[in-house]
Amino acid sequence: MHQILTRLLNQKGIKNVTELSSDEKTDFDRWESILSDGEMTVEKIVVFCKNQLNIVENQWKNLDASTLKNERLIIAHTIYRALLDAIEGPKTNREFLESYLNQLLVDTHK
């Protein structure tokens, strides 16, 4: 854990991260990620987007959420999914094409 976060928790009288509410834990995890990680990479963006998707999907389980909150969750989910698709799409397309071309090579040797 980063030294600044440790000091902040101590100042607030929090001995363990498990004492935080889910919203506080989300903020804490985000802060820790920002402080502990070096340079931003595409892989870190993928991990971040997947984590955000999990958070949104977990919040959908709250059946008492307002219509406005649900609309915002849908928008957030759509944005994170679009980012993941933009990052992972070319890789998936490349893998599919490689598989297809390899199959053509196998078929021509028969």
Q: pLDDT for 20-42, tens place per residue?
A: 888 888 888 888 887 876 788 88
pLDDT of residue 76: 95
Rg (CA), the chain: 21
H or E stretch including 49?
helix 42-59
3-class secondary structure, 4: helix
- Residue 2's pLDDT is 75
pLDDT tens, position by position, 53-97: 999 999 999 999 999 999 999 999 999 999 999 998 888 888 888
The pLDDT of residue 82 is 93
13 has pLDDT over 70: yes
pLDDT at position 56? 95
Burial of 102 (0-12, 13-18, 19+ CB in 10 A): exposed
pLDDT at 53: 96
- What pLDDT does 100 receive? 85
Q: Report the pLDDT value the prediction gives residue 9, as an integer from 0 to 100.
A: 87
What amino acid occupies position 59? Q
Neighbours of 82 (CB within 10 A): 12
